[in-house]
Amino acid sequence: MTIQSYQLMAAEIAQLRDENKQLRDQVHRYREFMAALMELDRTTERVRGDEELLHLLSRILTDALAIVESQDGSLALLDDEAAELQFVIVHGDAEALLTSYRMPSDEGIAGWVVANQQPVRIENVGLDERFWPHVDQATGFHTRSLLAVPLMGDDRVLGVVEVLNKRGDVPFDELDEALVTLFCRFSGQALSSLDRDLPAAM
C-alpha cells in the first residue's frame, strides 16, 4: 500500500470518527429532549401553589439548558400591564443579580422575540443591533452567544427563555434551536393549562 493510500485511509477514518461523534452528540440531545418532556409532564401535574409553580419554571429552564449543554440562562415572564419582562428564574453566574430584574418588553433580543413570537439564534451578540447591553452591565455577566425562544400558550407570549454561551464556546446550531423551540412550545401549553396569571403569581 502506498503512502498516498495510507493518507487517504487515515483521512476517511478521521472523517468517520467525526461523523460518529456528531451522531452521538445528536442522540444525546434527543435523549435530553425526551427526558425533559417526561419531566415536564410529571412536574406540571404537581403544581398546586406558588412554590410548585416556581419549581416548574425552574425545571423548564434547567431542561432547556441541558438540551443544549449550557449552564447559563434565564426564564423571563411577560407582565403585559407594566410592559416589562421579569427574570423570574435565572441559572448560572448572574443568578443572584439578575433574578427579579425587570426590563422593557420591547427592548433587546428578548423584546424582539416577544414582538415577533419567533426564536432567534445569535453567534456573536456584540454584532447584533438588537442586543440590549444593560443586563450585562448590571450583572457583570458577559454574553457571547445566545438562543432566545418564546414561551407561547393560548396563542400569546407568556415569556422568553434564553440560553447563553454554550459549553466549549461553540455556537448554538439549528438542532439546538429546533429542540428548545419545541420544548418551549410544550412548556407554554403546560403553563397555560394551569389557568393562572403567571406574572401576577410571582
**Residue numbers of the chain with a pLDDT score lower than 70:** 1, 7, 10, 19, 195-202
Q: How far is CA 102 from CA 5, 29, 66, 107, 122, in A?
A: 62, 31, 25, 11, 22
- Coil/strand/helix, residue 71: coil
- Residue 65: the pLDDT is 95
Q: Domain range for residue 110?
A: 3-201
In CATH, what number is assigned to the domain containing residue 172? Answer: 3.30.450.40
Total number of domains in the chain: 1
Q: Residue 19 has what pLDDT?
A: 66
pTM: 0.84
User: What's the confidence (pLDDT) of residue 66?
Assistant: 93
pLDDT at 195: 63
Say which DSSP state 42 is in: H
The pLDDT value given to residue 68: 93
Distances (CA, A) of 5 to 2, 10, 58: 5, 9, 54
Q: What is the CA radius of gyration of the chain?
A: 19
Question: Is the separation of the CB atoms in 52 and 36 below 8 Å?
Answer: no
